[in-house]
Amino acid sequence: MQFIYSGITSGSIFALVALGFNIIYNTTGIINFAQGEFVMIGGMLIYTLLSIYGLPFLIAAPLALIIALFLGALFERVFIKSVRSPNEIKLITITIAASIILRGLGMVIWGRNSLSVEAYIPYKILELPAGTLTSNSLLVIIVSLITAFSLSLFFKRSSLGKAFRACYDDKVAASICGVDVSKIRMLAFGIAALLGVIAGIVTTPITYVAYTDGIMTGLKGFAAAILGGLGSFWGGVAGGLLLGIFEGFFASVFPSGYKDAFAFLIILAVLFLRPKGLFGKKKAERL
């Protein structure tokens, strides 16, 4: 049953990425193809802050998060806002362009090789029924859960969060009520970047980070979002965890090379059979 533990670990990362997709999708209707690149940047940032500047983790991590918010907002202004007369094709392709640029920047700034960071907490192996879990993996799971809960509290309780939800439901009505839709969009990207960077920070001690990591992470995160139902908050979390577990199970049964294909089979299966996903929302239109 080892695959359940490694599945939940990788699934937590997918969940965070899926949340990022959902927030942007709900606020703007855009699918951000560069979401995976935020994860890569997260890993690169923490590497730079820890290994190059030698900052202690308790300073480096919050700093990375603040940079993430800023980067996300910048991303929105530079790429999304500047597209005049936006239509669906333009918006999809501009995020693709953004992901290429971010990848290229990653390569130029940090090189082509895999970079590693030291574990943030002492390395321990936890013996669990039918398997083991490392302390790093446990950290990934716990951080992801805390992030998801905090985010959902933010949306439920805070006034800013309520403004977000107003935008989800009806942009025009929200702006009539005084919600600054433009600012909310910027914030949405900021939060999505934040989620990506958190994922990048916790996963790097385990999997290292390289400039190409964003592609697969983004695609699998998107698969998780679709599985759970595009736009659904807890759907994204559930989708992520389920995808991780199924993928792990798949890898233990079939030759492991096919593992990657699995996420894409899921995308196809969901899109063809049940586009709303498991917990889909009203926004899932096919037409």
Please count the CA atoms within 13 angstroms of the CA of 36 that sit on its side-chain side: 23
Q: How far is the CB of 17 from other proteins (least distance, A)?
A: 14
* CA–CA separation, 229 and 231 (whole Å): 6
* CA–CA separation, 133 and 37 (whole Å): 27
Residue type, 88: E
Q: How far is the CB of 120 from other proteins (least distance, A)?
A: 14
Q: How far is the CB of 25 from other proteins (least distance, A)?
A: 9
Pairing of strands 131-134, 125-128: antiparallel
Q: Which of residues 209-268 bind other proteins (CB under 8 A)?
A: 210, 212, 215, 219, 222-223, 226, 248, 251-252, 255-261, 264-265, 267-268
Q: Which of residues 124-153 bind other proteins (CB under 8 A)?
A: 125, 132, 134
* CA–CA separation, 93 and 286 (whole Å): 19
**Is there binding between residue 281 and other proteins (CB under 8 A)?**
no
**Is there binding between residue 53 and other proteins (CB under 8 A)?**
no
Q: Would you tell me how many other CB atoms lie within 10 Å of the CB of residue 192?
A: 28
Residue 287 burial (C-beta neighbours within 10 Å; 0-12, 13-18, 19+): exposed
Q: What angle do CA 97, 103, 105 make, to 5 degrees?
A: 105
- Per CB under 8 A, which region of 109-117, 169-177, 179-187, 192-200 contacts other proteins? 109-117
E strand or H helix that includes residue 92: helix 88-110
- Per CB under 8 A, which region of 79-87, 152-160, 168-176, 178-186 contacts other proteins? 79-87
Q: How far is the CB of 83 from other proteins (least distance, A)?
A: 6
**Is there binding between residue 160 and other proteins (CB under 8 A)?**
no
Q: Of the candidates 114, 175, 279, 281, which one interacts with other proteins according to CB under 8 A?
A: 114
Residue type, 14: F
Name the residue nearer to other proteins (CB basis): 97 or 173.
97
**Is there binding between residue 121 and other proteins (CB under 8 A)?**
no
Q: Integer distance in angstroms from the first to the last C-alpha of the chain?
A: 41
Q: How far is the CB of 121 from other proteins (least distance, A)?
A: 14
Q: Of the candidates 58, 159, 178, 272, which one interacts with other proteins according to CB under 8 A?
A: 272
* CA–CA separation, 241 and 128 (whole Å): 19
Confirm if 269 and 246 have CB atoms less than 8 A apart.
Answer: no
Binding site for other proteins (CB under 8 A): 2-3, 6, 10, 31, 79, 82-84, 88-90, 92-94, 96-105, 107-108, 111-114, 116, 118, 123, 125, 132, 134, 206-208, 210, 212, 215, 219, 222-223, 226, 248, 251-252, 255-261, 264-265, 267-268, 271-272, 275, 286-287
